[in-house]
């Protein structure tokens, strides 16, 4: 089932998500709904707060990155292969290390449509999490995959990419962010806006 994506300004996007257990009600459906919602909105990641659930769950599928730029040289063959096959569910994730020199990447967010900003983050992460079967993992990632994980991970901690831009940029975006909260933005997927017009 495709769910509405919660728009910027809704308090649920600012809550720190709680950990869940294997028997969390409807977990299987929540996960499949999140993938369906994300694909419909042409996203590469979606976190539970973005569908109104304040729990530590996010899903990622980086395949669209490789489809957008078939013939440019943005990725090596190895990177392309890795991105094309990266589809994962992260539950109760904990980033335990981030390292390296910060690099910038132009990020967007399904909750903040039509706004993209360069965001600086460290390139390498180590993360512990369980998957949809509650199997435990302790892994390291870098590059674009680490970037997407960091963005989604921020969501389950109540943070948004707009928190990471300069105060000046944020001031300049204020009007557009307010418009998003009010639903004064044209989007091709279903959204839920916090402020009634």
CB 128 within 8 A of CB 93: yes
Write down the catalytic residue from 70, 102, 117, 152.
Answer: 152
**Shortest Å distance, C-beta 73 to Ni ion:** 27
- Report CA-CA distances (Å) from 36 to 89, 149, 157: 13, 19, 23
CB 123 within 8 A of CB 98: no
The nearer residue to Ni ion, 109 or 165, going by C-beta atoms, is 109
Going by C-beta distance under 8 Å and a sequence separation of 6 or more, which residues neighbour residue 71? none
**Shortest Å distance, C-beta 23 to Ni ion:** 28
The nearer residue to Ni ion, 80 or 179, going by C-beta atoms, is 179
Q: Does 156 bind Ni ion (CB under 5 A)?
A: no
Contact window for Ni ion (CB under 5 A) among 10-18, 61-69, 79-87, 109-117 = 109-117
# residues near Ni ion by CB under 5 A? 1
Q: Which position among 109, 125, 127, 165 is part of the footprint of Ni ion (CB under 5 A)? A: 109
Q: Does 148 bind Ni ion (CB under 5 A)?
A: no
- Between CA 161 and CA 69 the distance in angstroms is 24
Our answer to whether residue 117 is catalytic in this structure is: no
Specify whether the backbone of 100 is left (phi greater than 0), alpha (psi in -120 to 50) or beta. left
Q: Which residues are marked as active site?
A: 152
Residues that bind Ni ion (CB under 5 A): 109
């Amino acid at each position: 089932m495709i769910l509405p994506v919660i728009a910027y300004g809704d308090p649920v996007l600012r809550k720190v998500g709680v950990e869940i257990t294997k028997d969390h009600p409807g977990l299987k459906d929540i996960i499949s709904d999140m993938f369906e919602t994300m694909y419909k909105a042409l996203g590469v990641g979606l976190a539970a707060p973005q569908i109104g659930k304040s729990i530590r769950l996010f899903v990622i599928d980086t395949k669209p990155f490789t489809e957008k730029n078939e013939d440019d040289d943005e990725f090596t063959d190895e990177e392309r292969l890795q991105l094309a096959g990266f589809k994962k569910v992260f539950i109760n994730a904990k980033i335990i290390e981030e390292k390296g020199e910060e690099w910038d990447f132009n990020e967007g967010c399904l909750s903040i449509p039509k706004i993209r900003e360069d965001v600086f983050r460290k390139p390498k992460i180590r993360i512990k999490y369980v998957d949809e079967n509650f199997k435990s993992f302790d892994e390291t990632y870098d590059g674009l995959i680490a970037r997407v994980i960091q963005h989604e991970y921020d969501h389950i901690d109540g943070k948004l990419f707009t928190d990471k831009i300069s105060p000046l940029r944020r001031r300049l975006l204020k009007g557009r962010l307010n418009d998003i909260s009010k639903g004064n933005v044209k989007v091709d997927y279903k959204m839920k806006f916090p402020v009634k017009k």
